[in-house]
């Protein structure tokens, strides 16, 4: 690490932290992933080789390093530039090319939706990365916006964080609690680790929706809520699908689900084209074998055809509305009379409810919670809430995290 000057901490996970660093000699910037674990226990090789050599063998055998070596070079896969290992201490750091942001950061504070060409470009790049990875016999297991890095121009994507990868030909069961909950498919939630590469496609489908709507499709607060939200959109699975899942479920698992018809995705994204909705529907098919593959997705009419996904620009007439974050990071609401009646409550009641919800979750602000509800209601209710937002003194409410209008 002596050849690098540490600039800033970019993020931290369970097993590592990422630091922005500058190469002292060349002046170039890099992202260094510092592992929290130390590699000090040698394997059977220590009987024949020096301890430092054994530790280096252990490091080179790490799944993440092996995966990136197999996948590189590729324009949509993060580049591993150097492995820094200190044998005496067992400390390990991976030096990657630096991309300043990720899809989550790109979406979270947007004030208007991405246009059709941007959504299509992003999804093509994601599918290209997944197709390359699956063709190499690897699946990622943690596809989410935070693991898709973006360059400074906000155009070029690269898949990152291969710490959870597994081989496609590996024999399940795998780890049950893998992937981030909001992007976890039913087979991960309902079985004892009986899943495969199809889970990556599910995650990509969730991202596809999020890029268009700017809020997550299935933002469950726990695993039971996650299943409920999936069923509220896709409907309760039929008996054949339930039977297949039950075979690999723990004995205590209950498959008695309340019946839900589900809602058409076209109602959640009214401006979407038929090819967009078809690709999304096939990406988040409840039954894993029915999901489209990454290779098939790249040949889908959505990418090769000419129809469009009309962009829905957020219109605002005042500086107050421009200051509101338009990423609804907690819940996707299905339009129904109950929601409309909720929003017709007295303004102070709406504020108190949103305040309570914002205190239980992060990183949502109270205004973004209110705004999320606006997206799925009638024009009358929209006008009501819009008037409320514009005539409320938010500066008197300390829990708000309003963006500063520029």
Task: Say whether both 294 and 343 belong to one domain.
Answer: no
Residue 127 inside a domain? The answer is yes
Measured between alpha carbons, how far apart are the two ends of the chain, in Å?
39
Among 287, 304, 321, the domain-final residue is 304
DSSP 157-203: EEE---TT-EETTSPSP--SS-S-GGG--HHHHHSSS---THHHHHH
Last residue of a domain, one of 32, 63, 97: 97
Instruction: Answer whether 76's CB lies under 8 Å from 148's CB.
Output: no
Furthest C-alpha separation in the chain: 77
Query: Could you tell me if residue 402 is inside a domain?
Result: no
Same-domain check for residues 68 and 109? no
| 119 falls within a domain | yes
Give the CATH number, domain containing residue 221.
1.10.510.10
**Domain CATH code at residue 35:** 3.30.200.20
24 and 152 share a domain? no
Q: Is 142 a catalytic residue?
A: yes
| Number of separate domains in the chain | 3
Is residue 119 located within the same domain as residue 92?
no
Q: Of 61, 76, 97, which one is at a domain's C-terminal end?
A: 97
pLDDT for the residue numbered 45: 33
- The pTM (predicted TM-score) of the whole model is 0.72
Burial class of 346 by CB neighbour count within 10 A (0 to 12, 13 to 18, 19+): exposed
Q: How far, in whole angstroms, is CA 7 from its chain's centroid?
A: 27
**pLDDT for the residue 213:** 94
Residues of the chain with pLDDT under 70: 1, 39-61, 176-179, 305-406
Residues 107 and 254 in one domain: yes
The answer to whether residues 217 and 71 belong to one domain is no
pLDDT in tens, 210-222: 999 999 999 999 9
Instruction: Please tell me whether residues 34 and 127 are part of one structural domain.
Output: no
pLDDT of residue 1: 61
* Domain-located, residue 129: yes
Same-domain status, 85 and 114: no
**Boundaries of domain holding 359:** 333-396
Q: What residues contact 4, with CB distance under 8 A and at least 6 apart?
A: 21, 22, 23, 24, 30, 32, 95
* Annotated catalytic residue within 43, 86, 142, 393: 142
d(CA 130, CA 199): 11
């Amino acid at each position: 690490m002596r050849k690098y000057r540490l600039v800033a901490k970019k993020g931290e996970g369970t097993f590592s932290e990422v630091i922005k660093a500058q190469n002292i000699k060349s002046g170039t910037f890099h992202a260094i992933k510092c592992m929290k674990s130390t590699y000090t226990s040698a394997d059977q090789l220590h009987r024949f080789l020096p301890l430092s050599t054994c530790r280096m063998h252990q490091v080179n055998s790490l799944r993440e390093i092996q995966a990136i070596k197999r996948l590189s070079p590729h324009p949509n896969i993060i580049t591993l530039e150097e492995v820094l290992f200190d044998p005496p201490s067992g400390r390990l750091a991976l030096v990657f090319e630096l991309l300043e942001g990720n899809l989550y950061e790109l979406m979270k504070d947007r004030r208007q939706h991405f246009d059709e060409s941007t959504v299509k470009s992003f999804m093509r790049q994601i599918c290209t990365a997944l197709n390359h990875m699956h063709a190499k016999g690897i699946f990622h297991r943690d596809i989410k916006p935070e693991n898709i890095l973006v360059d400074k121009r906000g155009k070029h994507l690269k898949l990152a964080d291969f710490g959870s990868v597994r081989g496609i030909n590996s024999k399940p069961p795998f780890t049950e609690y893998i992937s981030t909950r909001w992007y976890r498919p039913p087979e991960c939630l309902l079985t004892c680790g009986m899943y495969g590469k199809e889970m990556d496609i599910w995650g990509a489908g969730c991202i596809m929706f999020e890029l268009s709507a700017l809020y997550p499709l299935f933002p469950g607060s726990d695993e039971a809520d996650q299943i409920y939200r999936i069923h509220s959109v896709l409907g309760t699975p039929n008996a054949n699908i339930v039977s297949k899942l039950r075979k690999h479920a723990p004995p205590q698992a209950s498959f008695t689900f309340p019946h839900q018809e589900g809602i058409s995705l076209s109602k959640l994204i009214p401006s979407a084209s038929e090819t967009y909705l078809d690709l999304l529907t096939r990406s988040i098919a409840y039954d894993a074998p029915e999901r489209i593959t990454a290779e098939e997705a790249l040949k889908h009419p959505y990418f090769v055809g000419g129809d469009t996904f009309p962009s829905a620009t957020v219109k605002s007439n005042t500086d107050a509305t421009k200051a509101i974050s338009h990423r609804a990071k907690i819940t996707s609401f299905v339009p129904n009379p109950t929601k409309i009646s909720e929003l017709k409550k007295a303004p102070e009641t709406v504020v108190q409810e949103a305040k309570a919800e914002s205190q239980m979750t992060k990183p949502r602000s109270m205004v973004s919670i209110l705004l999320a509800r606006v997206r799925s209601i009638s024009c009358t209710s929209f006008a009501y809430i819009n008037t409320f937002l514009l005539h409320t003194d938010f500066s008197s409410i300390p829990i708000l995290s309003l963006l500063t209008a520029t």
